[in-house]
Amino acid sequence: MANPREAIKEDSMILQKEMLANLFKELGNTKETGKKVVYTFVPGNLTELILSFDMLPVYPEINALQSGMRKKSAAYIREAEKLGFSEDVCTYVKCDIGMMLNGNIGPTGESIPPPDLLLLSYTGCFTFMKWFENLERLYPGVPIAMLHTPYQEDGQITSDQVEYMVKQLKEEVIPKMEMVAGKKLDMQRLSNMMSKSAEAEDLLVKILETAKNKPSPIDAYFAGVYYIGPIFTAFRGTDEAVNYYKELYKEVEQRLKLGLGPITPEGELKEEKFRLVVEGPPNWTNFREFWKIFYDMGAVIVASSYTKVGGVYDLGFRHNPNEPLESLAKYCMGCYTNMNLPQRVNFLADYIKDYQADGFLINSIKSCNSFSAGQLMMMREIEKRMEVPVGFIESDLVDPRYFSYANIKNRLESYFQMLEQRKIIMTQEAETA
């Protein structure tokens, strides 16, 4: 009999765990292999470009969320606050700084090597720039490449913006990568990687869109954070990513054929009672307990904005091998955090309609301005436009001081009661019509 505290895992999750373990092992062996290391961020990342130089990417915010899931973030955050970082500073930053000050130990127990290049691709989060100022102090002398991404102020990507981005890639980013890697860019290799990226992106969209079915075979928020892992981090553009998404799609298709609901840490969800669209990142320090509140109530998240933070592929974007640099530019500008508020509202409203959601919920993150700014306006607009019940809860990314299980559970229970009551009224109205 399985340990009740041991999470149920699908084959694709085991495969992903092996992929990540191999990556951290490779990072731990850089002294022997001589491979160079690039610190960068998930939104607007240039993974294919990094990998085309045979360099290894490290994502500080991924390290922070993994520290949160492993219950290590509280101590790391205290270390950063002792240095003078305010309580209002993004907790990813504080967790990351604290982790680096304590040996920079990764999830596999091996030390993550220092960077050979700091690659900042700014995508709608001003904190990233301040974060890199701190990394520059921690790693003096390490070269920095800055890729400034224009904000989608008017809700569209213009040719002038693409040209501006490509110019930066050619004159600022690629020369510094060539200097660090000790080799010239192989454009054909980069193009080949773009083909693999597009193949993985096609599969990811197919997987996420299975949630349009009733019942949904997936949870597109809690399970979705695992689904996006390989493509949003170190594996986009690789055969490994394509193989992972083929395996995942096979699993999801099988559940779809059998009419099964999502897999939760405690097994298959037996009954789908509520379908939700969720805005905002999840809490990582109490991730499993947070998820359990939802599946205990039969609530399935059928679409979420957080799973688009590293690319909004269901709007049609694909990396294009025929124009690799232009493709990287469009990718960076198209990330969710780089969209304006009217775009985000339209995006979420379409999800509610297309996925036949019963309600809309915001998880507002105390220290994440790039997500939380404008959320109350978004909530009011969605309620008015879509006429669905809206809910609002508050937590944090990796600071356990700002996760109140009892408070969140009470709020969610009240929200689900409202959804239940609405369903009863709608059923009665349909019967009497």
Kindly report the length of the chain: 433
For the chain, the domains span: 14-189
Provide the 8-state DSSP code for 115: P
> Given this model, what pLDDT does residue 7 score?
66
Distance (Å, whole) CA 91 – CA 76: 10
Distance (Å, whole) CA 408 – CA 394: 7
- Note whether 393 and 362 are within 8 A (CB): yes
> Given this model, what pLDDT does residue 8 score?
64
> Given this model, what pLDDT does residue 1 score?
37
From the CB of residue 263, how many other CB atoms can be counted at a distance below 10 Å?
A: 22
φ, ψ at 286 (rounded to 5°)? -130, 40
Q: Which residue intervals of 123-238 are DSSP H helices?
A: 127-138, 159-168, 174-181, 187-209, 224-227, 229-232
Distance (Å, whole) CA 236 – CA 194: 8
pTM of the model: 0.93
| Positions in the chain whose pLDDT score sits under 70 | 1-9, 122, 124
HEC states along 222-244? CCHHHHCHHHHCCCCCCHHHHHH
Q: In what order do the strands lie in the sheet with 117-122?
A: 56-58, 37-39, 117-122, 144-148
What's the pLDDT tens digit per position in 326-372?
999 999 999 998 899 999 999 999 999 999 999 999 999 988 877 88
Instruction: Look up residue 128 and give its two tokens.
Output: 């990233």
Q: Where are the beta strands (DSSP E) in 26-112?
A: 37-39, 56-58
Output the CA–CA distances (angstroms, integers) from residue 140 to 100, 144, 173, 347, in the order listed: 14, 10, 19, 41
- The answer for residues whose C-beta is within 8 angstroms of residue 141's C-beta and 6 or more apart is none
> Given this model, what pLDDT does residue 369 score?
79
What is the percentage of the chain residues whose pLDDT exceeds 70? Answer: 97
What's the pLDDT tens digit per position in 193-249?
999 999 999 999 999 999 999 999 999 999 999 999 999 989 999 999 999 999 999
φ, ψ at 25 (rounded to 5°)? -65, -40
Topology of the domain covering 14-189: Rossmann fold (3.40.50)
> Given this model, what pLDDT does residue 337 score?
87
Distance (Å, whole) CA 303 – CA 220: 5
In this structure, the strands spanning 390-395 and 359-365 are: parallel
